[in-house]
Amino acid sequence: MARGLDGLDTFDPSRVKVAGGSCPPACTIPPAEPAHPSHPKFDGPSERFHNDSIAIGSSVFLPGRSTRMHSRALRAVVVACGLVILARGESTSGGESAAESSTRRLLEALDERQMPDVMLWVIDRAEADPDLSPDLKRELPFLRATALVGTSRTEPDGARRAAILDEAATSIDAFLAVCPEGDRAIAAYTQKANLLIERGRGGLEQAKRPGQDATKLSREAAAFFDAAIACLQGTVTPDQKEIPTVANAEDAVIKSLREANAEIDAIKATAKGKAPDGTVRLAPPQQKEVERLGEIRDGLQAKLLSTRIMTAATIFEKSKAFPADSKEARAAIAESTAMFKSLAEKYPTKAAGTFARYYWGRNEAAMGRYAAAVDILAPVVGLDGTSPLAVSLRAKAAATVLECWLALAAKERDPEKLRRTYSNLGDDLRKFALTPADRLPGRSLDADWLALKYRTAAMLDGLAASLDARERQAKGLLQRDAKKLATEVATVNRDFAKEARDLAARLGKDLPVGKDEQDAASLVADGRLAYAAMQEKQATAKRLLAEGKTAEAAEAATLAAADRDAALKRFEEAIAMAEAEKQPDEAILNSARSMLAFLLYDAGRLEEAAAVGGMLAEQFPNAAGSRQAAKVALASLQQLASRADSATSVEAKARLAALAVVMTRVWATEAEGADAFSVLLNLAIDAHDAPEMLALLARVPRESPRRAEFVLRAGTALRREAQEARKMDPSGRPDEATLAAWNEAAKSSIDEGLAMMARAASPPTGPALKVAVSAALARAQMALEDGDRETAGRMLEHESFGPWTVVRGGDPALAQGPIAAVTLTVALRHFIETEQFDKAEQAMGALERAAGAGEEASAKLTAMYLSMGRDLQSQLESLGAGEKAGSPEVRDRAAKILAGFEKFLAGVAGRDRKISSQLWVATTYLTLGSGTGTAGIVSRSKAEHYLDRAAEAYAGLLARRDDPQASESDRAEIARFEPSIRLKLAGMLEERGKWNEAQEQLDWILADPKRQNTLDIQVRAAALLEAAGRAAAAAGDMEKADTLLREAASGRQSPTAAIWGWGGIANRLSRQAFAADDERAMKAREQFFDARLRVADTLFARATLVGRADRQQRLETARTAITMTRKLYPDLGGPAFQRRFEKLLEEIQREEGTGATP
């Protein structure tokens, strides 16, 4: 590999001074490119370039470097590359427009200030600008790559980060496709190599994690490193005259270098003579041009060296992709070492040679040749420059030397030799290692400094241990420094953090922590230490619990809680300390806040967790840890909102909504925003707030990662709201246009969501499948209502989320339960309507299976049939009430529906004698005949026909109870069903005006004392008395009417049955109705007010019976019933009930002659 270096013999050695020279090496290397005159700020790209090369190389050496550190080094290289371009004179020529010049300068400034997100906005705008010059347009892909690398630095998700880097590489390829040679191309090749190195390192990091396919990942990493080497390493040999194509950085440099040399030679050939010193004599302009070209050549020479150093470093990096002692690993290290050695020996006084020497020593150390490594690195450790580069290089070399000493000490058994090994750490190096972070060039500890400080601490600790008891004072001083260094490393919490924490903790037992050593950063480090301990104990507790060792698990959990409390205390102290500072370090402060939020949540201090997490989300959304903290706050508030304490719950709900709104704004298109949208939707669903659901649908971004799920849930909820609203009293429900809008929004949302699910690479599973199935079911129902049988069928039978498909698929989570029941009834309805009777039979069979085999099976089955019947009824009512009611089109649709049912019901009734089938036939006939809003669709005679068919079916069933031909099980089942059959018969008889017969059925039911306490039956009984009373009044039988109405209001006692009446119903409901705010209580409250209203209404009806002498008194009683209700329950059960009470009161007062309500 030690090929000749083109043109390096002309490199001026006097410009580089190392090992004791007054000028640090890096700053003496001339700039790679002349800076553009209008951009004087960027006059040192070469220094940056070399700096980056070192950074990259160093990372090859250090074990356990974090990816973040890698990316920092990478970013620096990328920045340098970008700035080389920006600073070049080529494209920023004098003719550039103000707009273009401003764009360039803005991009430079944004890059300097590390605002890659804004760089991407600017590049997007520039790309869309038709007036942009071709020069700048060509550079944009390269600049985009720079910005993308910048954004990748803050991306916590590994997969997304890799995707960003891939996009950056693609951008570079696009640039190189149009600009494969020249300075910009050199920078681009280098940048691409760095991206590939970054990917390789990422793969190796991932391979270390448990559960990963390490072999596969390592193989992929090796491929990335090979690709990076191909980007860097040249193929041109020194004797090769022509370079026809360029495909890597080294060849690009060599070609440019040869061109510069050729230009210089060409100018010199025009010389008219020689000076006495032998140099050619040139005219001033030519001399000036030669000097300019000379500077360019010098820059290219430096670049060539740095490229080769980078190649060697990448080869070393590649060695890590193979097992440590493998042939491949050894070969890679050997090749890398030979390259570094060659460069170091050939250019001992040059900056590049010094870099190469460092890497050479580092490689020797990696191969376990510690003594050789120490010797090789001695001149580098002896660098005394104060420039950032000199300090950085010295730190790297010193860290490696310390590693070598520690390795040698670990093998040493002779105490005296051990002490001598530790004593190698001289005062100069000790002092160097103790340099405070804020005095370092980067004002922070990078991986090299962390290694240096930790290893110095370990050396000091070892040296202290080797001292005897009489040297107590010296020992104490050594330990103090060791602890200080270890604490510093632990505080940063990156490389060597664990070792440093252990060392600091061990030293802490010997040396009390002085107050002066406490700062926010060290408190955070201590807090993290306690947190790590807590996690370990929690894991232990979980494991013990899984093993069934409950007592031990509880003990471990208690210990974990103690660690958590210790961590909490540390973070609280750190925050208090940092907040008291004039200019607090926001990164440390917010990191502590984020940890605090989590620990508070873990400790059940939900209020505080929500406050801290919420503050981070709102005030510092872009800080590391804020997303996590926001999620903690969201979870805390959700728990608080679900508490029984009404005041806490209400306040928490309001805060939950406020936080979710912030999160949807800040992270609109990200996972956190999706979570927040989901929370807001849940709140809207709980509150039955359809307008809010519509607003959320408008706000949720197209790019939201959970949009499909969101629109499906919102659409399903909207459909439910529209359905519920239709059941409301007309005076209280939204108008038709609003309900139609809700339905339309529901349809389009569900259609969009299902289309997204259908397009997804893999079909939905788990909870997502449940959401999709529910939505498809709702959509099928809507399609059935619209008469859109094609859509209904498509929805029900979709191959991946069709409810009919899924319910029959065998997934126990979906084949049972409410979704299955509704699916089967909807499918049954659809198949009957479309006359797919074979499938209808299958649906009936599935319904019976879904109902199960227990005692409740028949009841369940009946409930499911009823549900289907209600849907059918609702559909017919809807047809009868719509705008086109009565039109031939509607009549035709209804006729088709009814024809399908009639045909199917007749068939089932005739051939299927199963009780469940007969029940279904009866129930369906009942629902077809008893709808109150189906008059426009089902003629009176037809309705009566259906009711007769139902009564016939029910009577047939009851007859089989005493039929000796029937099986015992059938008779037993009918006996079980008898009350429900009689109830239905009562309903039918009531509908036909056969009051006495209906009452007989109810009396039979109520004869059983157990059934007397069934609320629904009592409601039916009171309603029957009221209806019979009103019918008697209409027929002119005022006495009978009065009696029945009185009994409807106050109840009736007979020897066999007790009817509570509306008053009794209200009394019995009053406690349950106001005991809580849950759904059950709300339902009871509704029934309570309904009963109170009907008490007043029946009183009013009695007052208005013809010929009553006590009319006024009765009217007053009716009025008092309302005013008393209002006095006791001022809200009267909400707006809808208020309107009904007011309306009745107005009628009473009109009858009294007192006018309208005051």
Task: Give the binding site for other proteins (CB under 8 A).
Answer: 38, 96-99, 101-102, 105-106, 109-110, 113, 118, 121-122, 125, 586, 615, 618-623, 665-666
Q: CA 732 to CA 1141: how far, in whole Å? A: 13
The nearest distance, CB 98 to other proteins, in angstroms, is: 4
The nearest distance, CB 106 to other proteins, in angstroms, is: 5
Please name the helix (run of DSSP H) or strand (run of DSSP E) that holds residue 1053, with its range, or none: strand 1052-1053
Closer to other proteins at the Cβ: 397 or 666?
A: 666
The nearest distance, CB 454 to other proteins, in angstroms, is: 32
**Partners of 274 in the β-ladder:** 280
The nearest distance, CB 593 to other proteins, in angstroms, is: 11
The nearest distance, CB 101 to other proteins, in angstroms, is: 4
Return the number of other C-beta atoms located less than 10 Å from residue 399's C-beta: 28
Terminal-to-terminal C-alpha distance of the chain:
104
* Contact (Cβ atoms closer than 8 angstroms) between residue 727 and residue 718: no
Closer to other proteins at the Cβ: 37 or 436?
A: 37
Structure tokens at 81: 């590359």
The nearest distance, CB 586 to other proteins, in angstroms, is: 8
Of 915, 1001, 916, the closest CA to residue 961 belongs to 915
* Contact (Cβ atoms closer than 8 angstroms) between residue 586 and residue 555: no
Mapping DSSP to helix (H, G, I), strand (E, B) and coil, where does residue 958 land? helix
The nearest distance, CB 597 to other proteins, in angstroms, is: 15
Q: CA 688 to CA 860: how far, in whole Å? A: 28
Closer to other proteins at the Cβ: 162 or 615?
A: 615
Closer to other proteins at the Cβ: 107 or 485?
A: 107
Residue 211 zone, left/alpha/beta (φ > 0; ψ -120 to 50; rest):
left
**Partners of 280 in the β-ladder:** 274
The nearest distance, CB 304 to other proteins, in angstroms, is: 34
> Tokens 């659409």 appear where?
715
Structure tokens at 214: 């390490």
Please name the helix (run of DSSP H) or strand (run of DSSP E) that holds residue 1127, with its range, or none: helix 1111-1128
Closer to other proteins at the Cβ: 612 or 851?
A: 612
The nearest distance, CB 443 to other proteins, in angstroms, is: 18
| C-alpha distances out from residue 110 to 144, 450, 1032, Å | 12, 29, 88
Mapping DSSP to helix (H, G, I), strand (E, B) and coil, where does residue 280 land? strand
| C-alpha distances out from residue 666 to 619, 636, 653, 672, 697, Å | 11, 19, 20, 9, 17
In the 8-state DSSP scheme, what is residue 1058?
Answer: E
Closer to other proteins at the Cβ: 620 or 804?
A: 620
Structure tokens at 60: 């090859």
Residue type, 877: E
The nearest distance, CB 1028 to other proteins, in angstroms, is: 60
Structure tokens at 164: 């960003």
Cα angle: 670, vertex 672, 673; to 5 degrees: 65
The nearest distance, CB 83 to other proteins, in angstroms, is: 15
Closer to other proteins at the Cβ: 660 or 840?
A: 660
| C-alpha distances out from residue 1119 to 94, 1060, 1115, 1125, 1131, Å | 94, 22, 6, 10, 17
Closer to other proteins at the Cβ: 135 or 1077?
A: 135
In the 8-state DSSP scheme, what is residue 1076?
Answer: -
Closer to other proteins at the Cβ: 121 or 1074?
A: 121
* Contact (Cβ atoms closer than 8 angstroms) between residue 50 and residue 306: yes
The nearest distance, CB 622 to other proteins, in angstroms, is: 5
Residue 886 zone, left/alpha/beta (φ > 0; ψ -120 to 50; rest):
left
| C-alpha distances out from residue 920 to 864, 908, 980, 1045, Å | 9, 9, 13, 35
The nearest distance, CB 1022 to other proteins, in angstroms, is: 54
Closer to other proteins at the Cβ: 457 or 589?
A: 589
The nearest distance, CB 603 to other proteins, in angstroms, is: 24
Closer to other proteins at the Cβ: 590 or 716?
A: 590
Q: CA 435 to CA 453: how far, in whole Å? A: 9
Closer to other proteins at the Cβ: 118 or 756?
A: 118
The nearest distance, CB 619 to other proteins, in angstroms, is: 5
Closer to other proteins at the Cβ: 623 or 822?
A: 623
Closer to other proteins at the Cβ: 50 or 104?
A: 104
β-strand 1058-1059 against 1052-1053: which pairing, if any? antiparallel
Q: CA 478 to CA 510: how far, in whole Å? A: 12
DSSP secondary structure letters along 1016-1049: HHHHHHHHHHHHHHHHHHHTT-HHHHHHHHHHHH
Closer to other proteins at the Cβ: 49 or 620?
A: 620
Q: How many residues does the chain have?
A: 1158
Q: CA 694 to CA 1123: how far, in whole Å? A: 39
Residue type, 972: A
Closer to other proteins at the Cβ: 120 or 773?
A: 120
* Contact (Cβ atoms closer than 8 angstroms) between residue 618 and residue 653: no
Closer to other proteins at the Cβ: 662 or 775?
A: 662
The nearest distance, CB 367 to other proteins, in angstroms, is: 47
* Contact (Cβ atoms closer than 8 angstroms) between residue 333 and residue 363: yes
The nearest distance, CB 666 to other proteins, in angstroms, is: 4
Closer to other proteins at the Cβ: 123 or 321?
A: 123
Structure tokens at 996: 């006495």
User: φ and ψ at 1058, to 5 degrees?
Assistant: -115, 120
The nearest distance, CB 102 to other proteins, in angstroms, is: 5
* Contact (Cβ atoms closer than 8 angstroms) between residue 92 and residue 104: yes
